[in-house]
């Protein structure tokens, strides 16, 4: 135990230990209000407030960006992408007076907004094959004159 954080290990079931670190609690005081008298206040507080983490995990699993990888930094990056997309949707919804937006549509739209400038820049390069330029112009919604090389 330090002055800044308290570490608690709780074992409710055999071979199932839970380790918690709290910077909010100063000691491992036992919570007398629980049915099981051996839970610390840190464990009961975590159990009362973990709903947010459960909801976040459920939302992340619905539209998961993660791919199978053996590199833990890549796995962390995928997790950051998942959480950032949920946060972006929350901020977008709050800025639009909490108008309901389907998450799949929102993810599709922000993905497109991130890729669009790259496609636009790629179309300016002279070494891009003609068929690829035509496809890029179609994606960008340019008119048929530009497709024929009159741009």
pLDDT digits (tens, 9 = 90+) for 18-32: 788 888 777 667 766
Angle at 114 between CA 109 and CA 142, to 5 degrees: 80
pLDDT, one tens digit per residue, over 44-85 is 888 788 888 888 888 888 888 888 888 999 999 999 999 999
Q: What is the pTM of this model?
A: 0.58
Domain boundaries, the chain: 6-49, 51-101, 102-151
Q: Which residue has the tokens 């049915």?
A: 35
pLDDT, one tens digit per residue, over 81-92 is 999 999 999 999
């Amino acid at each position: 135990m330090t002055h800044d954080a308290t570490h608690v290990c709780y074992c409710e079931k055999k071979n199932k230990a839970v380790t918690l670190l709290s910077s909010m609690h100063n000691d491992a005081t036992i919570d007398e209000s629980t049915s099981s008298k051996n839970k610390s206040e840190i464990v009961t507080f975590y159990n009362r407030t973990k709903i947010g983490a459960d909801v976040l995990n459920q939302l992340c699993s619905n539209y998961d960006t993660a791919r199978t990888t053996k590199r833990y930094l890549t796995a962390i990056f995928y997790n950051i992408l998942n959480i950032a997309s949920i946060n972006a949707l929350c901020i977008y919804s709050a800025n639009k007076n909490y108008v309901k937006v389907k998450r799949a549509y929102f993810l599709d739209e922000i993905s497109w907004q991130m890729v669009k400038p790259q496609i636009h820049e790629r179309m300016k390069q002279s070494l891009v094959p003609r068929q690829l330029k035509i496809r890029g112009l179609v994606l960008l919604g340019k008119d048929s004159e530009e497709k024929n090389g009159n741009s």
